[in-house]
Amino acid sequence: MPVSLACNAGMLSVAVLCGGSSPEREVSLAGGKRVADALGRLGHNATVLDLNRESVSQLLAMAPDLVYNALHGGQGEDGCVSGLLDILGLTCTHSHVAASSVGMDKLLTKHVLKSLGIDFPKFDVLTKEELLSAEEVLPYPFVIKPVRGGSTIGVHAIFSKSEYLGLSAYADMLEDRMIVEEYVPGQEVQTAVFLDRAIGTMEFLFEGRIYSYDAKYAEGLCKHIFPANIPDDIYSLAMEWAIKLHRCLGCRTLSRVDFRYDGVNKALKLLEINTHPGMTVSSALPEILWLRCGLNFDQVVDLIVKDALGIGGSCKTYIGELMGETVSREPSHV
């Protein structure tokens, strides 16, 4: 059954918010343009707005039927923009204030994970000054990352004392608060959640210690494997934890949950949740939906729009039909 028959929204006026001043600006612009193009093909009137001081007046003048939040990082992803849109009385896509704010804050997310009994890397939180002056933080190797941020921007894997001392060269790029956590060797995997279902888990093969910005977005630097080449019980656990966290935070429509699997110690560690998954040509969530459910990019955007408008009930049933009402991996590669 075509998505257009699953639930009908009619032609809409949609403002696509993207860009802004976040370090993830370029990723947001690329995804926003791709979404706007899809909306046009779906018969909607889409207008791309680069978030700035004039955005409120532009949105009020437009009075769109829907605001598609294609922002990444910063105030676009931490709940500030969704809260502003609520105040303005404008309907928007993606998660609302609370889920976005907690999901963006890796420290708060870890506290939620602890309450849910979900495993995550050992960690500490240090100010920039403490990080640069401490004699020792965690046993090597470890990873430092901003408390709030995405796309692996500002993330460093530290394997030795000399590398730790070399952090001073990046002092201007360090945030006021930084998370220091144990480095988890092994496989990088991500689970897509869509319309309240864990859809599937993908593995990423790349050179280097971490899934870097270049590996994520530069062509040819990463290979995507679906389904992830991990044991069946670990695959099921990733799916279980992803939907559990998604629901606990109150995420809406979609999210992506990132893990590391240490095959030597048979340990799965949850790294973070992304309430605004990327929508670029190299992004995991739309690719997983295509490979697992047969949904093309336009259909994914269509379902996001309809769920935001509150007419996604039949769409959720449709997703269940595509998945055969199961969250199992097909086929098994282990």
Distance, CA of 74 to chain centre = 13
Structure tokens belonging to residue 62: 């437009």
Contacts of 123 (CB under 8 A, 6+ apart): 110, 179, 180, 181, 182
Q: Which residues of 74-90 are buried (b: 16+ CB within 10 A; e: fewer)?
A: bbbbbbbbbbbbeeeeb
Which one from 28, 95, 100, 151 is the annotated catalytic residue? 151
Q: Binding site annotation covers 135?
A: no
Which one from 28, 82, 95, 283 is the annotated catalytic residue? 283
Q: Is 77 a catalytic residue?
A: no
Q: Is 283 a catalytic residue?
A: yes
Q: Binding site annotation covers 274?
A: yes
Q: Is 28 a catalytic residue?
A: no
What separation, in Å, do the N-terminal and C-terminal C-alpha atoms of the chain show? 32
Q: Binding site annotation covers 258?
A: yes
- Tell me how far apart the alpha carbons of residues 98 and 119 are, in angstroms, rounded to a whole number: 22
Contacts of 172 (CB under 8 A, 6+ apart): none
Structure tokens belonging to residue 328: 């199992």
Q: Which residues are annotated as a binding site for Mg(2+)?
A: 258, 272, 274
Known binding positions: 258, 272, 274
Report, as residue numbers or ranges, the catalytic residues: 24, 151, 283
